Structure 1
Amino acid sequence: MFPYLGATTPLYLLLAGLIVAAVIGRRLPVMRTLTTLVIWGVLGAVVVMLVRDRGRFDPYLTKVAGLLQTDKQEVVGKEVRIRMADDGHFWIRARIGGVERRMLVDSGATVTALSAQTAAEAGIEVDETPFPIVLRTANGMVNAQAGTIPELRFGTIVARRLAVVVSPAFGDTDVIGMNFLSRLKSWRVEGRTLILEPNHPQPVKPDTA
């Protein structure tokens, strides 16, 4: 009936229910307490919906989700556990030198890849050769330069002297590739959780948990 509402239909229905409940509460004083509970319940449902489906409504709500840790990364014993994000991917909060980045885990990527901005801010030196590396990506062929990350760290995991490729063509996306995953003792996906176990667990720093 209202095709233009699309994914926001449940939100409009909740708001309509809120208005109806308020009107009933004003006309029937004996139901004010019950109506107040209903209103708070509807408001709570709206908040949950907005945070859960924030990409459909407002990109700024991702900041709220970050504060609520809906995309959670935690250390359990020697393991680092990453909860699947709403986009269906796993994202790691890693520190490269003094720079923190949210990095996409991609087992289909042979090598770890950094955006040009991340490489510059982290002080990653690239090999300036007249013949750049040519990579095949989902968006076609792109040119990239080779480099090395002195240290990449998150949770109990530390990778040193990690080879990377750097290119402006990656936009603002940084990717963890198989050359990183293959260094781990094990990695697996259980349900909606990625579990990473290092060979040599390191003490957890407060800003890399």
Structure 2
Amino acid sequence: MTGLQPNTVWWIVVLVALAAGLVARRPSLGTIVRGVFGWAAIAFVIVLIVAHRHEIGGVFTNLAGQLGISSQQVSGETVRIRMSPDGHFWARVSLNGVSRTMLVDSGATITAISEATATAAGITTNSSFPIMIDTANGTVMARRGKIEALALGPLRTRDLSVVVSENFGDLDVLGMNFLSRLGSWRVEGKTLILEPDSTVTAETNFT
């Protein structure tokens, strides 16, 4: 591909405009240095927020639950989860009795959890056969495991396959292998609605 990309051109225009403004104002060297460091600090904070947006979303969800303004509501056997400010759906889930806030991601084929979560929940993995999986941050090595008991409000299932990797950081994801066990799931407005399979008993739910 040849030529400048639109984003590159935009940044050049911004830099030229800033330079022209500085020349017109004739600021001191100290003012210029402080300005450069100030903008660099702002850019650094923005990069950190973008890089850790999933973890930040999980933190906000936890805080909301503690303050009694939870985005996760239960009505009978139906669970409703409001979209968080980061544009994602975060669910409070129990894995083998261990509580975690997990990102619900229909784009993920399989449920994925961090090393810390696997250890806390007592999930053993098959270390003999690592696999390579594609993530938003590139291809990572992971190991297969299984959650004996998972509960999302009244929705419960057993023996759910997962992948575990230290490369996931603090992020835990509920993937399609979980959603496919439900009777139905859909998004209405900014609310994710999860319903059990009505053909199974309340005791086993959608196992």
TM-score computed with the length of structure 2 as normaliser: 0.65
Whether contact under 8 Å (1:147, 1:164) holds in the other structure is yes
Q: Which amino acid aligns with 2:117?
A: T
Whether contact under 8 Å (1:158, 1:202) holds in the other structure is no
Q: Which amino acid aligns with 2:183?
A: K
Alpha-carbon offset, residue 182 of structure 1: 0.4
Tell me the residue number matched to 1:168.
166
Asked if residue 85 in structure 1 is aligned to residue 84 in structure 2, the reply is yes
Distance 2:131 2:165 in 1: 10
Q: Which amino acid aligns with 1:194?
A: L
Alpha-carbon offset, residue 202 of structure 1: 4.1
Q: Secondary structure at the match of 2:126?
A: coil
Alpha-carbon offset, residue 108 of structure 1: 0.3
Tell me the residue number matched to 1:124.
123
Asked if residue 190 in structure 1 is aligned to residue 188 in structure 2, the reply is yes
Whether contact under 8 Å (2:64, 2:71) holds in the other structure is no
Unaligned runs of 5+ in 1: 5-54, 204-209
Q: Secondary structure at the match of 1:101?
A: strand
Instruction: Sort the Cα spacing of 1:178 and 1:198 in 2 relative to 1 into closer, same or farther, 3 A.
Output: same
Tell me the residue number matched to 2:6.
none
Q: CA RMSD in A?
A: 2.4
Whether contact under 8 Å (1:148, 1:161) holds in the other structure is yes
Percent pairwise identity: 55
Distance 2:201 2:67 in 1: 27
Distance 1:196 1:64 in 2: 22
Q: Secondary structure at the match of 2:127?
A: coil
Q: Which amino acid aligns with 2:98?
A: V
Query: Which of structure 1's runs of 4+ aligned residues deviate more than 2 A?
Result: 61-71, 200-203
Distance 2:107 2:194 in 1: 16
Q: Which amino acid aligns with 1:77?
A: G
Q: Secondary structure at the match of 1:133?
A: strand
Unaligned runs of 5+ in 2: 1-37, 39-52
Alpha-carbon offset, residue 76 of structure 1: 1.2
Q: Secondary structure at the match of 2:125?
A: coil
Instruction: Sort the Cα spacing of 1:66 and 1:143 in 2 relative to 1 into closer, same or farther, 3 A.
Output: same
Whether contact under 8 Å (2:109, 2:177) holds in the other structure is yes
Indicate the larger mover: 166-175 or 151-160: 151-160
Alpha-carbon offset, residue 98 of structure 1: 2.2
Distance 1:155 1:75 in 2: 7
Tell me the residue number matched to 1:152.
150
